[in-house]
Each structure stands twice: as structure tokens, then as C-alpha cells.
Amino acid sequence: MHSAQRHHFSGYFNCLAGCILSASLMTGTFLAGCTHKSDSSAVKKEPVSLYDRGRIIYVTRCIACHNQDPHQPGSIGPAIYGSSLELITARVMHAGYPPGYKPQRATHIMPPLPDLKGDIPAIYAFLNGKK
């Protein structure tokens, strides 16, 4: 009777120790998993396509005036889907037009956005559906 009681007692402790141990092991694995994940994403970042970059720039910088869907006219600016690289460059750099281009609007509302110089190829990819 005495020894059976002791066995029961130590069995309880074994279980408790096992639970704590496995819980901390799981925590350890979980943390290691997190660290590993953030490490690998920091090392090899998925490259964002020109198209996706252009879409982000369009949404953040152009839809104040142009339509969220560049096929449609916006609140202020016209539809600009299919714009050529020359047209986008002229508009973004100095709110101009390429030589000989017939503007959709006679207004001069759009400001130049020359800080987007490096993003013109991305805007072009987005506005021409080049994924």
C-alpha cells in the first residue's frame, strides 16, 4: 500500500515535469520558428514586380485626381490607361506632353511630380497591364 502510494505520487511529478518540459520545448520551438521566419524574409525579400510597384504608386500618388481604375476618368484627371512611357515621363517630370501629342484636356491642373522620376517604368508597367 505504502509503495503503491509513492508510485502514484512520483508518477504525478513525472507528469508535471513532463508537461512543463514539453511546454517550454514547444515555446522554444515556436520562438525558434519565428526567429527563423523573420531571418529568412530579411535576407531574401520577395522582389515586388514593376507592375505591383506601379500599382502602389498609382494608388498613393495619382488617384487623388485620376480614377482608381485607370480605364475610367477620375474626379479631376482623365482616363490614362495605356499611356506611353513618353507621355508618363513628360507628365510626371514637368507636367508636359511629348512633342506632337494631343492632350485629352486643355487644362493645366496636374502638378509635376519629379520625385517619382525613378518610378516612371513602374507606373508605365501598371498603366499598360504589363504584369
Rule CB under 6 A: choose which of 55, 67, 88, 122 binds ligand HEC: 88
Question: In the set 49, 53, 83, 121, which binds ligand HEC (CB under 6 A)?
Answer: 83
Residue among 68, 73, 110 at smallest CA distance from 93: 110
- In the list 77, 89, 122, 125, the residue contacting ligand HEC (rule: CB under 6 A) is 77
Answer whether 120's CB lies under 8 Å from 85's CB.
yes
> By three-state DSSP, how is residue 30 classified?
helix
- One residue of 26, 30, 107, 112 binding ligand HEC per CB under 6 A: 107
Piece of the chain touching ligand HEC by CB under 6 A; list 12-20, 29-37, 44-52, 61-69: 61-69
Say how far apart CA 51 and CA 37 lie, in whole Å: 26
Q: Is residue 80 part of the contact set for ligand HEC (CB under 6 A)?
A: yes
Asked whether position 93 contacts ligand HEC by CB under 6 A, the answer is no
How many angstroms from the chain centroid is the CA of residue 116? 18
Interacting residues of 92 by C-beta distance below 8 A, sequence separation 6+: 112, 113, 114, 116, 117, 120, 123
List interacting residues with ligand HEC (CB under 6 A): 61-62, 64-66, 76-78, 80, 83, 87-88, 91-92, 103-105, 107-111, 113, 116, 123
